[in-house]
Structure formats: structure tokens, C-alpha cells
């Protein structure tokens, strides 16, 4: 089948099965084009809980589909490629977090949403890249364990008086973007603003005009009067930005900044997921309930 035939089949199956397709901002353009909603990980999980559909096809990586299942336990959550994981989420386990917390009994543990369900179940509260500072400042403890991203932790530490103790994890895509890349792009596009994700290295953040999450980047792209922007995050988001803002130019800070796990999903896999109801994402009830508590505490703030 060609792409048009696959898209038509996907559309038909969505109606027949009462399904909705969610796609992360980093997905390939073909997948974004068939999605009902595009966004960041938590926003999509909240959307999964809001829609009436019984089946959610989550085009992202595994922890995102898990979060959707945690917030929508009664729905069937499918991920088109079960191998689409997140190396950063795998850099800390629930048992490691439990042992870490024992060494800091007076502290609170904040876990980035980019973690497994088991890790979320062991933390005090979750956070996103856009609300991490607010979440940390809301806690009564003066000492905060922050997992798993040490670069996001370093960014938070700049904006709080609390002591931040980071786990030694990172996003390999954002770590791949170097200060030299930003400077080279600034030289090529001297009129451009530079927006980078808070998962970037501190020296990259120092060169940015704005440090914002993917969701905020999409919003800012619509509002800004700037015609040229250098984007310091996974390059897949530029497809959406260009599509929504055709008169503006967006340049990747580093041309090869790709999340290979995000790129494992394609149109054919989305179709097979709907046809064969694969791959179902399940979270044990005890884990789900504890993890949901940590997510809901964040949402309340």
C-alpha cells in the first residue's frame, strides 16, 4: 500500500474502533499528519483521559504510553512499536530510587515525567520541564532529590534557593547539542532568536534567548514576531512548527539531533497497531495508583 492508502485505512479503522491517535512533537511528519492530537508527553496523556475514545494509539515512547494508562486505566492504550523506549527513563530504577532516598531521609524526591511508572510510584511528586521549578519551590523540604535528568536539575538549581541533588542521568539527544553548534548557527543566522530545551547542557542554556519546553516552543512559535528561530531540541518538532507557521524559518541547533526511539514508529506500524490491537500497555494496579498520586500532586500545583 502507498501512504495515501495506509492513511485512508487508518482513518476508517479509527471510526470503526472508536480510537484516537496521539503523536508526540518529535514523531515523524507522516505520523503527526494522521494524529488527532499532537503535543508533549503529559499534555497527550491528559488528552487521552479527556477524549471519549476507548482506544488510544500513543505514538511516542513507552513511559508516555504508561502515563496515559495511569491517567486512563479503563482505556486500551496501544504503542505501535514496543521497542520505542527512552534511554533517560531507563537510567534509574525503582529500587535505585528507594536506596537513594534512604541516604536523604529529610529530602523530597521529584521525578521528571520522563521516568517509568515504577519510578513515579516511588517519588513524592512528578514534574515536567515547564513546571519543574514551580514544583520544587512548592515543597516544604529544603533538600530535593531530582531524577533522572541532571541537566534539568541544573537548570532548576539556577531558579531555586533549595539544594538540588541530581541523579546522574541525561537525555542523549539534548546532550548531543553543544555550545559550538549554537554559536555556529548564530553566525549563519545572526537575526535569529535561540530557543533551547531545559534538558540541554548548562553552557548551551547560557547562549539561549529562551529556555522552554517543547509545548512552550510550539506556543511561542505561533506568537513570536521573529521570522528566524534556532531550535535547541529534538529536530522532529520543526516539522510541526513549519507546518503551523509557514512564513517563519526554524533551524535545528544541530542537524542530527534525532531521538532514534521516537523515529521507530511509522505509518505502517500505526496501521498494524490498530488492525491487530498491538502493543497493549499495562501498568499493575498498585504501581498505577501510587504513580497517579505523584502525577496528580503535580497537576494540583
Tens digits of pLDDT across the chain (301 residues): 899 999 999 999 999 999 999 999 999 999 999 999 999 988 999 999 999 999 999 999 999 999 999 999 999 999 999 999 999 999 999 999 999 999 999 999 999 999 999 999 999 999 999 999 999 999 999 999 999 999 999 999 999 999 999 999 999 999 999 999 999 999 999 999 999 999 999 999 999 999 999 999 999 999 999 999 999 999 999 999 999 999 999 999 998 899 999 999 999 999 999 999 999 999 999 999 999 999 999 999 8
The pTM score is 0.96
Domains of the chain: 3-85+262-282 (3.40.50.10800), 89-170 (3.40.50.10800), 178-252 (3.40.50.10800)
pLDDT given at position 301: 86
pLDDT given at position 126: 98
* Residue 191 buriedness (CB in 10 A; 0-12 / 13-18 / 19+): exposed
Amino acid at each position: 500500500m502507498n501512504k495515501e492508502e495506509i492513511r485512508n485505512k487508518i482513518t476508517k479503522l479509527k471510526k470503526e474502533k472508536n480510537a484516537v491517535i496521539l503523536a508526540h512533537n518529535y514523531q515523524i511528519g507522516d505520523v503527526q499528519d494522521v494524529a488527532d492530537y499532537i503535543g508533549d508527553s503529559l499534555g497527550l496523556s491528559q488528552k487521552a483521559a479527556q477524549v471519549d475514545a476507548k482506544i488510544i494509539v500513543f505514538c511516542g515512547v513507552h513511559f508516555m504510553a504508561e502515563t496515559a494508562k495511569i491517567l486512563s486505566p479503563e482505556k486500551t492504550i496501544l504503542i505501535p512499536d514496543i521497542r520505542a523506549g527512552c534511554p533517560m527513563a531507563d537510567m534509574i530504577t525503582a529500587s535505585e530510587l528507594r536506596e537513594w532516598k534512604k541516604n536523604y531521609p529529610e529530602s523530597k524526591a521529584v521525578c521528571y515525567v520522563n521516568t517509568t511508572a515504577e519510578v513515579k510510584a516511588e517519588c513524592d511528586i512528578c514534574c515536567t520541564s515547564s513546571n519543574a521549578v514551580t514544583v520544587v519551590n512548592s515543597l516544604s523540604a529544603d533538600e530535593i532529590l531530582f531524577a533522572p535528568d541532571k541537566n534539568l536539575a541544573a537548570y532548576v538549581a539556577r531558579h531555586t534557593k533549595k539544594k538540588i541533588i541530581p541523579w546522574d542521568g541525561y537525555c542523549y539527544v539534548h546532550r548531543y547539542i553543544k555550545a559550538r553548534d549554537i554559536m555556529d548557527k548564530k553566525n549563519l543566522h545572526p537575526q535569529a532568536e535561540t530557543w533551547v530545551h531545559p534538558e540541554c547542557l548548562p553552557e548551551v542554556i547560557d547562549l539561549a534567548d529562551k529556555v522552554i519546553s517543547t509545548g512552550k516552543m510550539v506556543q511561542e512559535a505561533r506568537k513570536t514576531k521573529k521570522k528566524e528561530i534556532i531550535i535547541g531540541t529534538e529536530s522532529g518538532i520543526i516539522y510541526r512548527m513549519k507546518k503551523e507557521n509557514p512564513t517563519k524559518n526554524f533551524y535545528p541547533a544541530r542537524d542530527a539531533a534525532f531521538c532514534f526511539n521516537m523515529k521507530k514508529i511509522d505509518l505502517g506500524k500505526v496501521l498494524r497497531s490498530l488492525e491487530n490491537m498491538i502493543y497493549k500497555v499495562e501498568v499493575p494496579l498498585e504501581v498505577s495508583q501510587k504513580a497517579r498520586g505523584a502525577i496528580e500532586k503535580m497537576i494540583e500545583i
